[in-house]
Structure 1
Amino acid sequence: MLQLGAGEVFERGEGNEQHPEGHSAGFREWIVGLREKLMQSFPLAEGVTPIADDVFLEPEWKLELVTIHGTNGMVEGKVLPLRIANGHKSEHSSAASSSTIDGTTASVPNEDILPVKGAYSARLLSNKRLTAPDHFQDVRLLDLHLEKPYDYCPGAVAVVYPENFPVDVQDFIDLMAWQDFADKPLNVISTASQQLSPSPLRYLDLTHTHLTLRWLLENVLDIMSIPRRSFFASLAHFVGTATEDEAYQRERLLELANPELIDELWDYTTRPKRTILEVMMDFTMLKIPFEYVLTVLPMMKGRQFSIASGGNLRLDGDDRSRKVELLVAIADPPSPIIKYRRRYGVCTRYISSLQPGQQITVGLQPGYLDVKVEEMQVPILMIGPGTGVAPMRSMIYQRLAWAETMGLRAVGKGLDGDVLIFGCRNEVADYFFQDEWRDLAEYEGLTVWTAFSRPQNNTIASHANGEAATNGDQLPQRKQYVQDKIHEHARRVHEMLVKQKGKVYVCGSSGNMPKSVREAIIDVLVECDASMARDQAEAYVDGMEREGRYKQETW
């Protein structure tokens, strides 16, 4: 735009979703500067002043109760659809189903299929724990069967849409005193004379859904998330000052909404991982008008998980891509402050409750790795510690299938030259797919290097082209991470990336791991080539990125 002669009105803003307040933290700072710039460029008319921040603005979209006329189901000229899915009626007064989660019995979300446009219905075949029973982290392998085929490649992701638990939904309804109309039908209406923005429920097909407050709280509204600053700013509009308690709670809400009091919000929400439901337990004088819940409460987003299946693992007997496997770490973080109530990841808590045979809604996306069959001409270095091994597994089986069906490599050499670096705590606790790697190394030529950050003192395991070594003397092992394996096999890595023009894939946590891996590769380039200075090695890796030879997907 600038090259074509356009003038920049205001500098671009950038948001970071991994900030404790999400992208809204950067947006809040950016919007102040934009507002000042617009006021300078387009000053208000004389006598006109900006709307004060404490004035409540009617949202464009809100809810209203439907008035039912007669007994034939007619509602303002429309027929109310009866909400029935999977054989379950929408009678919430009946007892919710139960399941054992972490050794306790708790009511679990209903089994209704969330009507997301463009999503797939999937039947859960198994929900298997892969980590040792006494290991601190619960990691599951979900095996799903799609209702219709989806031809995916390595790097594809599945989007799981979570549901809230009935007990939490009922607690929220009771706190807001919505009992009398929680199960009555609702309409979503626009308050604007001219529609400026699409409906917040536009991603759902509500044609056959009986829309109620309870249904929204179960499926759409994220009442178990950690609230952000904008949430408290919205709540301040709904508490009065008539009594001392109301005045105190309103003052407290304004403190939490004040961007200058960063520590207040951090100590109250982020540090103890306090949920919206728990916040409403503290602010007892506050009742949110149900009409505005689509604006005040955040929407529950689907969570992305890299697909761990590929090649023949996608097939389900009929030679169609109907199977999807997901490797999911169940988030169960401790809270140093709130000890009476367990902390859970919203989606992974839902996943941990799923039972074989249950139907769930899954979105499917191609992902960002863009793996092609042409890559079979060069070796690949795959680095995937922890659950980051999921897309690596998909890639390994897809490359094996390409090698077999297209005759690109000799029999028994389908993965010859390819290297997987996998990192975990130790062999006993969380060595995912250990038997598979052993077989692929022995029968297809895959090289596997394992890095154990908390190794068992009695064994040493190192798989390379199917070879395994055991330390019978039980010598203590040092902690190793995936970047250590790059240094350890520097010559092999250098040959793959420089002489053979191989590719690198890095998947896993977005913390220090990707940076450490990149630095290790740069170290190897310098170490193995005396004529290459460090800035040249950095430029070489940059060039690999531009050419699509160095890709990473982190979360």
Structure 2
Amino acid sequence: MATTLSVSGFPLEQTLAQLAQQTRFDDLAALAAVALLSTAYITKGLLWSKPDPYRYKLFERPQQQPGAKAAAPQTRDLAELLEQHQADVAILWASQSGTAERMAARLAKELSSHLHARVVLLDISDVDPTTCAKVPQSKLAIFLASTFGEGDPSDNLHEFWTWLHLPKDTSLSNLQYLAFGLGNSNYKHYNHVINVLADALDARGAKALMPTARADDAAGETEEHFLEWKEHVLEVFQTRLGYQRQAVSYEPSLQVVDDDSLEPIDLHHGIPRDSSVGKATSTQSKVYALPLVQSRELFKDTAGRNCIHMEVDLGEHAELKYRTGDHLGVWPVNPTVEIERLLCVLGLKQRRATPCHVKSTDGSPVKIPSPTSLDAIFEHYVEICAPVSREAVASLAAFAPTEAGAAFLTRISSNKDAYTEYLRSSYVNLGRLLEHACEGEAAWSALPLSLVLETLPAMQPRYYSISSSSVVQARRAAITAVVADTPISTSERVPGLATNYLLALKESSTRPAVAHPHGLTYSLPIPHQPLQASHIHAHIRKSTFKLPAIVSTPIVMVGAGTGVAPFRAFVQERAFLKKLGRDVGQAKLFFGCRNPEQDFIYEEEFTDLASQLGDSFSLVPAFSRPERVEDKRYVQDRIMEDPEAICNLLVDQNAYLYICGSAAMARDVSDAVAKVVMSRQGWSEADMREFADRQKRQKRWMQDVWG
């Protein structure tokens, strides 16, 4: 007997037919849906959901009213920039620390006020270098460029620098120019940047209206050399360009306006300008408030000297990262005693907390964030402890409250020798200078606050080589700093701004009851203060001072004093990688200090690292002030004592060479290396120069040095 299969009471054939029919219907429905959606997507903005042509109005700045004149589009064409600003003179600055920028601004102001020249002041990175050829002969370009490190250009000069080294096939025969370089003769490549710039312009046919001038900061003469050059520039404008010099009264470039309607939350209380904004993003991070997690004294017998090891925690900011060899930029705070001194002599104590706006009166950029208060300005935004230039002293004389004060300021400002002698015997900053000229509370109350802020340079960060490895401790960065304290007489001393601030933080965190050894105090924390106790404002700056990518590559390190900081990180990293089983190359460290009993910093750590690395690491100390005079050695002496090992590493094994410390030490070390290599290899000076240049191009001979 036949049996009929069924599903849910229906015959199987009928069920299958229904399923097939339903499948065909579902397929057709899906295809129709896909077609409908595709049509909708294709016709969006054409047949439906047309964009509102006025929607952009919702995102316009509220202050830009209908009918307001739109800002001119930004151009990088130098000829067009001159035309836009109706200027005859373009002053282009290339600056790393801000000195060249400040001098360019001073020159621009003086040319404008005393000669009525029409001037435009430009960051050189805002100019396309190829457009220099379009500048007409009736215009003039003035270049101020600094050299830092071993002949390196400033960060904002890199595009121009590349163009200067291209083939000289562009004619600049119409370009008239003047040039001023800032450098330090302690460095081997003194004023290299301005030399290359001037030579490249000349090779392209540009005409220099006077010889290129060079400032030398080796003896602190940059300011004087700038004043001398500026006077020559003014003479050229009068004798060759037909300008007439006129005596003018003081014209402020900025204005300070009190505004009691502002609340504390509206103000800038001391957070530095975000250094990642604009052109700095490729080289440094944003500024953060970083907590201090460790600080300790490194000198064994301080004897009035201090060396600080300090670590900051990066853990609160996941985006903040560093790599071994980078720098930490620390933003210092002015000491309370100098803030009070300046506020007192200016008669501004009652006004110190009043909210105010700082506005430009001539269109020049204002370096102080606004709105703010005088407390924040004098504590965080200007360097009130900076020396006062002779030119600024002359400006102050016009506002002296007494004839005696005016005579004193005129005497030291009009005579270079008198000013130099005054600096040799006195710690001079603006507050102290005003007190010396005319002492008493509010004695200088008639001095325009605008002139005070124009005289004081904007606060700048101080950079320290990071002395920890990012491989070993990625979320904590360490720095190593000797506290600067320069005696200038039996009773006067000039304290380093940043290092004494760090010392105060160290003392407050480790021994709260102990005062700063030099009596300096800082007002942290205060209401609305952006920094909590035991925090600093800092940012990371990238460096090319890096370990080889291949861990087995040998390295030779030479450092004196705190110049050993990055090498602590290097050796830490090598020891860590060896512990992980990596094959690490030979590392040889030459370290110089005064005395093993006083300032052999990180001695115990290096001993421990040596035990971990075994034959892969050797430390060669050099003591410049040992107990026995016959044991006196500098790092360059120790290099000369071991020529075979040095040559074997640098020449035979193609090791990386790193030098960190003062420029003078780096020059002596480079000379010592050259001597031992030339002697062993039988090379001429030309052979050695070719070898050194090749190693530097390949980033195998690197220096991290300071003046």
| TM-score over 0.5 (shorter chain) | yes
- Which residue is 2:208 aligned to? none
1:131 aligned residue = 299
Residue 114 (structure 1) shift: 5.0
- What residue number does 1:82 align with? 265
**Does the 8 Å contact 2:272/2:287 carry over to 1?**
no
In the TM superposition, what whole-angstrom CA distance separates every residue of 1:500-554 from its partner, at most 9, and x where no partner exists?
11121111122x311210111111012212x323443344323322332211111
Whether contact under 8 Å (1:451, 1:482) holds in the other structure is yes
| Contact persistence 1:142–1:326 (CA under 8 A) | yes
C-alpha distance in structure 1 between counterparts of 2:634 and 2:219, whole Å: 27
Aligned to 2:373: 212
Matched positions, count: 463
Per-residue deviation, 1:21: 4.9
Cα distance in 1 for residues equivalent to 2:451 and 2:257: 9
Supply the distance in 1 between the matched residues of 2:221 and 2:463 (Cα, whole angstroms). 17
C-alpha separation between the residues in 2 aligned to 1:544 and 1:273?
Answer: 44
Deviates more, 1:162-171 or 1:497-506: 162-171
**Secondary structure of 1:252's partner?**
helix
Alpha carbons of structure 1 residues 145 and 238: separation in structure 2 relative to 1, 3 Å: same
1:423 aligns with 2:598: no
TM-aligned CA deviation for residue 164 of structure 1: 1.7
The equivalences for 1:433-472 within 5 A come to 433-444=602-613, 445-456=616-627
Instruction: Decide whether the 8 Å contact of 1:308 with 1:391 is kept in 2.
Output: yes
Q: Work out whether 1:376 is the aligned partner of 2:376.
A: no
Contiguous gaps of at least 5 residues in structure 1: 69-74, 91-111, 241-245, 316-320, 458-475
Matches within 5 A, 1:232-251: 232-239=393-400, 246-251=402-407
Query: CA 1:20–1:491 in structure 2 vs 1: closer, same or farther (change >3 Å)?
Result: closer
Asked if structure 1 preserves the Cα contact closer than 8 Å seen for 2:333 and 2:501, the reply is yes
Does residue 230 (structure 1) correspond to residue 396 (structure 2)? The answer is no
Gaps of 5+ in 2: 1-163, 185-216, 276-285, 510-532
Deviation, structure 1 residue 362:
0.6
Task: From 315, 331, 337, give the equivalent of 1:167.
Answer: 337
Q: State the partner residue of 2:456.
A: 297
Show CA shifts across 1:372-393 (max 9, x none).
5425353111001110001112
Amino acid of the residue matched to residue 226 of structure 1?
A: P
Deviation (angstroms), 1:137: 1.9
2:537 to 347, 357, 361: 361
1:379-433, CA deviations, whole angstroms, 9 ceiling, x for partnerless residues? 111001110001112222334455666x651xxxx3x411111111222211111
* Structural mapping, 1:78-157, within 5 Å: 79-82=262-265, 116-117=274-275, 118-146=286-314, 147-149=316-318, 150-157=320-327
Query: Is the 1:157–1:367 contact (alpha carbons within 8 Å) kept by the matching residues of 2?
Result: yes
Other-structure match for 2:484: 331
Q: Secondary structure at the match of 1:376?
A: coil
Contact kept? 1:124, 1:359, Cα under 8 Å: yes
Of 30, 54, 64, which aligns to 2:257? 64
Structural mapping, 1:393-404, within 5 Å: 393-401=568-576
Q: Where does residue 361 of structure 2 map in the other structure?
A: 191
Q: Establish whether residue 266 from structure 1 lines up as the match of residue 461 from structure 2.
A: no
Change (3 A) 1:273 1:81: closer
Cα separation, partners in 2 of 1:363 and 1:229, compared to 1, 3 Å: farther
Tell me the distance in 2 between the aligned counterparts of 1:499 and 1:274. 53
Question: Is the Cα contact below 8 Å between 1:384 and 1:507 reproduced in 2?
Answer: yes
* Cα contact 2:547–2:570 (8 A) shared by 1: no
Asked if structure 1 preserves the Cα contact closer than 8 Å seen for 2:334 and 2:379, the reply is yes
Distance 1:387 1:25, change over 3 A: same
> Which residue of the partner structure matches residue 318 of structure 1?
none
Cα distance, 1:238–1:482 mapped onto 2, change above 3 Å: same
For the residues of structure 2 that align with 1:183 and 1:294, how far apart are their CA atoms?
17
Amino acid at match of 1:427: P
Aligned equivalent of 2:683: 532
Aligned match of 1:545: 696
Partner amino acid, structure 2, of 1:157: H
The one of 181, 186, 191 equivalent to 1:14 is 181
Partner in structure 2 of residue 158 of structure 1 = 328
Cα distance change on mapping 1:446 and 1:271 into 2, 3 Å: farther
- For 1:266 and 1:375, how far apart are their aligned partners in 2? 52
Shift in CA distance, 189/311, structure 1 to aligned 2, threshold 3 Å: closer
Q: Secondary structure at the match of 2:659?
A: strand
Q: Distance in 1 between matches of 2:425 and 2:656?
A: 40
Cα distance in 2 for partners of 1:143, 1:26 equals 39
Match of 1:50 in 2: 245
* Largest Rg, 1 or 2: 2
Match of 2:229 among 30, 34, 54: 30
Alignment CA distance shift 1:263-1:39 (3 Å): closer
1:351 corresponds in structure 2 to 502
1:456: Cα distance to partner?
A: 4.1
- Give distance in 2, aligned partners of 1:20 and 1:51: 33
Partners of 2:470 and 2:302 in 1: how far apart? 33
**Contact 2:424–2:488, Cα closer than 8 Å, also in 1:** no
Higher helix share: 2
Q: TM-score, structure 1 length as denominator? A: 0.76
In structure 2, what residue type is equivalent to 1:365? R
Cα distance in 1 for residues equivalent to 2:337 and 2:304? 26
SS at match of 2:394: helix
- Residues 4-48 of structure 1: per-residue CA shift (max 9 Å, x gap): 10135234211137355564433333333434444456424xxxx
Corresponding residue to 1:521 among 645, 654, 673:
673
Task: From the superposition, tell whether residues 548 and 343 of structure 1 become closer, same or farther in structure 2 (CA, over 3 Å).
Answer: same
Q: What do the CA deviations read for 1:449-471 (whole angstroms, capped 9, x no partner)? A: 111112245xxxxxxxxxxxxxx
Q: Supply the distance in 2 between the matched residues of 1:452 and 1:227 (Cα, whole angstroms).
A: 37
RMSD: 2.7
